[in-house]
Chains A and B, each alone.
Chain A
């Protein structure tokens, strides 16, 4: 191929007497069959991180983007300057909401395996990220989630039957069966319509926040994406806009170590932290123990106060671990060590808060077991109620002609024609 322009080949370089270049392709520390090892993670003790003033200049708090804000220590004690000192009822609400989210996930995962729906995605191990943030925000702050923040809806007391109706695409589905399961939309709950296209919600959240600021409103926006999705161009454009206009927005990166089968190294984690992306944009960056709901809550409150004081946006990296497969279509044993979730050094968010509450004397194992039982029954009852509206493929869905509605505000002639054509074809076929 020596006559091929622009590619001389290795032989073409011979004689230059230089070492050959090497392409670095990242490789996770452990593959299937290998033992998991997280010793390369630098996990500082709880309480070690300082808590800068909410109005701090991003340039004065760079270390926060490389550290790890942690409140709950190994014994379940809340320590250090980030301790939000929440009242017992809030702690127990957090615990219950996380447990409900996990029970919901378990039930819906099983529903998919039973063929009642086509698809599901769990958030196991990441419940603190969405619920801690949701409880730190005002209910009228607008959330622009990705697909793994179902905890926000549950924290905002959105009916789980309604969520299940969407998952079953049944006649009770508020999205009329148009959307893949879990792509919820709940404007009343400040929960923006989920898109399958990754990170598109990032600049949208910034735009919502800019609009709020331009109108002299007091509401702020928050958005979430995974660490894998930070590689999308929309992440960059959102950070640029957020920085330029000092938009009142909180940008959350849920670093759960895995983007389907790709470990976080493929998003750049070998070289830096995701919170550190903020430094280059001149945005406040915080890196938080994502399995410590008190740390998530405290960081979100800090960022919300900062945004409301017109001090600008915050990027928060939530350091966590995706315990389950990416989705019901994924088998993680094909690409990662089975030991990982048990060796994950930051533990389980529910277990850690439970330990804390027991330590405070406001909770015990018996009450916890009773709660889990209650929640499982509640979710089961909700699932039965939702199934009465139909499950996927069993005929109880919105009318077929509704497929053509809401493409536009008013149906144009070509859609009316196609709608009629569909009805005529079905009629002609005797159906």
Chain B
């Protein structure tokens, strides 16, 4: 399966298992979603469980909060993460706080799916990575898969989870892994080990990172599309880096991060999102606090620049192979 098929399969499996799971969003019903992630679900489960919505993100999430209070398990889709902002009040003030403020009387067991990230010439409003906004909100979980196998297992875990979860899907790798070389033909997931996705139920626990590559020279913390860009860059450079695919940002697998950095003594953080107050800053602080006496070089961040996501200059903005190589060289030089 490619990542879209894996995500579709996760929803199919969960809708089959749990009659309280409902899927909703703009164009997700009859049409099956602008990325085809919900294709066939309305036909199979009916319009009471898979339905198109008006174009109102605050409405979609607000309605999902109410459905959750009733006892359903909604899986709302926000068509692009760039368009999640109108729903921020419902997510931050309501979904995230509901369990806390009602002392557990009401909960918001929803999973908000949303394609995110750049690398597709999406310009300013089809490329953003707003994960840092959500990791800053107490009460929501933030999950980002990097492979079809993980996407399905993590999405099933998110849907089963009783806390609201933001599930960001890196759209650049929906159809195939991306090595960062935009000028070479796109690859598909066919033949990739992680494209072997079981058709039935399985779950990958939230809060557990994955060692994408074991190594000794330095630790690279990354997630989503950047896992593949980092893997390929490291392979090309022939460097024995340990690549940690975080998979879930909140809750974070601090044990895996700590063990890796204490082993390698060096740490690079890579994300597409803009740098200032991005999630990388939190990772950097945690590593600094916990691994200070093990560090042999300053922790580096290779991230999107602090600008809106540019259209024509995308490949200068994107933390691709050139920028990652320079960051690695800088860390290893010390």
Q: List chain A positions with a Cβ less than 8 A from chain B.
A: 142, 144, 174-176, 178-179, 183, 185-187, 192-193, 195-197, 200, 202-212, 214-215, 221, 233-234, 236-238, 240-241, 244, 406-409, 412-414
Contacts and interface: CB of A to CB of B under 8 A. Distances in A.
B93 A197 contact: yes
Contacts of B22: 211, 214
Contact of A192 (B86, B106, B163, B254): B106
Contacts of A236: 56
A56 to B, nearest CB: 24
B101 A204 contact: no
Contacts of B98: 193
Contacts of B54: 237, 240-241, 244
Nearest to A214: B48
B105 A187 contact: yes
A238 B101 CA distance: 23
B58 A234 contact: yes
A193 B163 contact: no
Given A185-B106, A206-B66, A409-B163, A193 B101 contact: yes
Given A204-B65, A204-B69, A208-B66, A185 B49 contact: no
A-B residue pairs, 7 tightest by C-beta: A207-B66, A203-B62, A237-B59, A207-B63, A204-B66, A211-B70, A193-B102
Given A178-B103, A197-B93, A233-B58, A413 B251 contact: yes
Interface residues of B, number: 48
Interface in B258-278: none
A414 B254 CA distance: 9
Contacts of A144: 66
Interface in B56-95: 56, 58-59, 61-72, 74, 86, 89-90, 93-94
A412 B62 contact: no
B89 A238 contact: no
Secondary structure at chain B's binding surface: helix, strand, loop or mixed? mixed
Contact of A207 (B67, B99, B251, B254): B67
Interface of B: 22, 48-49, 53-54, 56, 58-59, 61-72, 74, 86, 89-90, 93-94, 97-107, 138-139, 141, 161-163, 207, 250-252, 254
Contacts of B53: 241
A174 B101 CA distance: 10
B64 A207 contact: yes
A205 B59 CA distance: 11
A174 B102 CA distance: 8
A414 B70 contact: no
Contact of B67 (A185, A208, A412): A208
A288 B111 CA distance: 40
A209 B62 CA distance: 12
A211 B71 contact: yes
Contacts of A244: 54
